[in-house]
């Protein structure tokens, strides 16, 4: 049995007035930044390096934020890969969302109008219940991220798991008896 509980606790906020967000720069890697929960919207432009902020995900409780001033900026391979895997898993029912969200993800994947490539730095946050204000990333996201890596490894795709982890700037350790890969890249940042 795969044990993934407590992952959000490992990477969640250290206080109720702050939250941690993931920052995926274009050059690869990933960092976790703690920001004031009430000021998240004001902090996003600085984290993105762009005064114009746009949303890219359209899933309940989760958002990929990007700068929108330079639409032809450098492709962010890690963020684009993370978004595609997420949408595929939501559409397939592997990520804990409702049927409407699954259908929306499937439409986004099938759409030729909706750009699936993220350009420039990307910040991943949770969203409040209204789907408007950045909020902490929830347990479903952390569980999904761990399972993506474990599944790739379990199906004999260790190389794919390592590529995913490298794109996200994570060190993974598929040691014996360790059902959840060590996410040391997140803990140390």
Quick: pLDDT tens for 120-130: 999 999 998 88
User: Quick one: CA dihedral 33, 36, 40, 42, positive or negative?
Assistant: negative
Q: Which tokens go with 105? A: 């993800």
pLDDT (tens digit per residue) in 6-47: 333 344 444 567 888 889 888 877 777 889 888 888 899 999
Q: For all residues of the chain together, what is the average pLDDT?
A: 75
Question: Residue 39's pLDDT is what?
Answer: 86
Q: Which class for 42: exposed (0-12), middle (13-18), buried (19 or more C-beta within 10 A)?
A: exposed
Judged against a pLDDT cut of 80, whether residue 70 lies above it is answered with no
Mean of pLDDT values over 81-96: 88
Mean of pLDDT values over 94-118: 86
In a 13 Å sphere around the CA of 69, the CA atoms on its Cβ side amount to: 7
Q: Give the Cα separation of 78 and 47 in Å (integer).
A: 17
């Amino acid at each position: 049995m795969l044990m993934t509980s407590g992952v959000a606790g490992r990477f969640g906020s250290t206080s109720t007035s702050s939250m941690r967000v993931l920052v995926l720069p274009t050059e690869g890697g990933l960092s976790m930044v703690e920001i004031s929960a009430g000021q998240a919207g004001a902090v996003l432009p600085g984290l993105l390096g762009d005064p114009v902020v746009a949303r890219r995900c359209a899933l309940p409780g989760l958002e990929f934020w990007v700068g929108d001033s330079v639409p032809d900026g450098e492709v962010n391979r890690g963020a684009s890969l993370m978004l595609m895997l997420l949408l595929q898993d939501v559409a397939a029912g592997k990520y804990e969302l409702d049927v409407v969200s699954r259908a929306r993800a499937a439409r986004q994947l099938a759409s030729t109008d909706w750009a699936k490539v993220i350009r420039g730095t990307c910040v991943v946050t949770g969203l409040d219940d209204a789907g408007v204000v950045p909020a902490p990333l929830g347990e479903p996201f952390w569980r999904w991220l761990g399972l993506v890596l474990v599944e790739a490894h379990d199906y004999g795709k260790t190389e794919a798991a390592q590529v995913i982890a490298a794109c996200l700037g994570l060190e993974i350790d598929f040691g014996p008896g360790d059902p959840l890969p060590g996410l040391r890249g997140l803990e140390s940042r």
